[in-house]
Structures are given as structure tokens and as C-alpha cells.
Amino acid sequence: MKKTIPIEHLKIGMFVELPRAWHAHPFLRNSFTITSKKQIQKLIDHGIREVAINDAKGIQADQIKKEIDQPEKNFGEDLKETADRLKEILTDKEASPEDKAQAVQLHSVDMLRSLWKNPSAERISDFKQGVVNVVDLILTDDATNSHLLKLTSYDYDTYIHSVNVGVLGLSLSKVLLRKGERHDMHALGAGFFLHDLGKVNIDEAIIKKPGKLTDEEMDIMRKHPSMGFKILQETKQISIESRLIVLQHHERHNGGGYPRKLRGEDIHIYGRICSVADVFDALVSKRPYKAQLSPFGALKLMKEEMLDHFHKDVFEKFVLLFK
Ligand SMILES: [Fe+2]
């Protein structure tokens, strides 16, 4: 029988059923038998105060011969290992679209976190390999793609935001870029995921500042598109068109963006796609200094107050992703 208990009543041997949302708890699986005190502590550390347990599936604590730890979400520093694990799940015929969508979010965030620590050419190449599977999945599996669009996590951090923009940008590219035209979707996907890479060079105190930035801080922040472009140029891992995503994702159709105040068609189509995805995710995400909007509310605001920021066709196709 399923019941909810306070976390302090949770014991080794009990079978927990955690919320499905991947960010709601620190474990890879949502339901499993508690086999160590460390696992209970991890749940407490994650801010969980009560859990659902299933009596029918629990086992007696003394039957557990050895305390076995559940693998944690963060697979350590090894980007390749995470990419391989992701591939394994995405090519598993038994995995449901929901599981695949969760795995994409979870492992992409891990890969980005790992890459951020040291964005060398070799590691960008590994990252690109890892993203290949995500791109192929979004292009070929509509069911998982639709789950991914619904799964978007709104707790803001740079990695979650990057994955959201990756998913949104690819979903939009899928409907917007005409078949028959040559687009390297793998490089394009990597470009979307890495659009904010330049932030690795910006002081974390600015990135994580809980309030509005001062003019001086904003000037520093405005450098991240050029800095990201430079990293990708020096490491020679991504095509020029995809590097333009990084450079142009803050340009606006009306010329009010940065760094170059480009206008209209002077902004590459990939940059236009990324700017819509980026603004939408910023509006729906939770931040301490601004109201969080629903997807509908964000699209409404973009249409009513920011329409001249975006290319008309790109914005219209974007809205259709949520119909
Ligand atoms: Fe950005």
C-alpha cells in the first residue's frame, strides 16, 4: 500500500516512490528500495521533507546484506561516460518517451556542467558527440519531442536554461528549416546547447546575482556572445553557421540587441531561432527578481510587447510548437 511519511520515518528497506520530475530529487531512478543511510541523507539535503513509500514492495532491513548506493545523477567529471549513458537510454527500445525525455534533460545538464569546467577542444568534441543522440531523437521521435517540450524545468540555472534552449531551438529548427536545404543539424544542436558558453568567462557573482545588474555589470554580461564565439572559433569544433548562434542570440530584429545591433535579415536564421527560444525560456523561468510567466503568458507578452524583437515567421512557427 502506498502512503506518505515524514522523511525522519524513512528507513533502510523501505521502497520509495519519488516524483517523476528529474529535478525533484537527487537520484537516477524515481522508485527504488532504500539501501543506505546516505541515501536518506541525500533526500534530506535535497530539501525533501516527506516521501511516498510502497509497503508492498519494501523489504526487511536485515535482508539487505550490504549497503548499496544508488548512482547519483552527477556521474562525476567524465563527460564521455555521461554521453555514453545517455546514448544507452535513448537507444533502449524498452524506455518510454517520458523516460527518454527525462534522460535528455538530466544527462544534458550533467554534460554541460562538466564541459563548463574546462571547455577544451577535445571536450567540446565529446560534447558534440553526446548531443548527436539528442538531436537525432528530437528529429525522429515526435512523442519524446513533445514530452521534452512539456518537461522544461523552470528552476533557473545556466545549465538547465542551456538545455531548454537546445530543445526549443531544435524543435523550432525541425519545423522551420526547409527539407532539401543543407543544414548540419548536429552542429546546429550543439550551437543551441552552447549558446551561453561565453558565460564561463564571466564572474559567477554577476551570473548568479539575485537582483538586477548594474550598468557596469550589464556591460560585462553583454560580452558573453563574443566570448563564446571566440572559444568555439579557437577550438575549431563547430561550423561557422553554428558559431553564429552563439554570437547572435542576443541580436534583435529591430536592431536593439547586442553585440552588433544587427537588424532583420542580417541576423542569421540560426541566430533568429535561438533568440526566440532564449527569450521564451527566460520569461518562463523562475528568478528572484521577476514574475514567472506560464508558457501561454510568455508567448502573449512576446506577441504584444516584443514582436518587433523577432523575425515574424520564426515567431509564428515557434508559437505553433505549443498548440
Ligand atoms: Fe545569452
Q: Is the pLDDT of residue 62 over 90?
A: no
pLDDT tens across 149-161, in order?
887 666 678 888 9
pLDDT tens across 233-250, in order?
999 888 898 899 999 999
pLDDT tens across 91-128, in order?
888 888 888 888 888 888 888 988 988 898 988 988 99
Residue 268 alpha carbon to ligand 1 centre in Å? 16
Residue 143 alpha carbon to ligand 1 centre in Å? 29
CA atoms within 13 A on the CB side of 99: 15
Q: Are strands 15-17 and 31-33 parallel, antiparallel or unpaired?
A: antiparallel
**pLDDT at residue number 74:** 45
**pLDDT at residue number 73:** 47
The mean predicted confidence, pLDDT, of the chain is 86
Q: What is the mean pLDDT of residues 171-191?
A: 88
Residue 296 alpha carbon to ligand 1 centre in Å? 22
**pLDDT at residue number 75:** 37
| CB-neighbour burial class of residue 263 (10 A; exposed 0-12, middle 13-18, buried 19+) | middle
**pLDDT at residue number 170:** 95
User: Taking a C-beta distance cutoff of 8 angstroms, is the pair 159, 106 a contact?
Assistant: no
Name the pTM for this structure.
0.76
**pLDDT at residue number 290:** 79
In degrees, rounded to 5, the angle at the alpha carbon of residue 257 between the alpha carbons of residues 256 and 263 is: 70
**pLDDT at residue number 172:** 96
Of the candidates 134, 132, 112, 115, the one whose C-alpha atom is nearest the C-alpha of residue 123 is: 115
Highest mean pLDDT among 38-47, 155-164, 243-252: 243-252
Residue 279 alpha carbon to ligand 1 centre in Å? 9
Residue 172 alpha carbon to ligand 1 centre in Å? 18
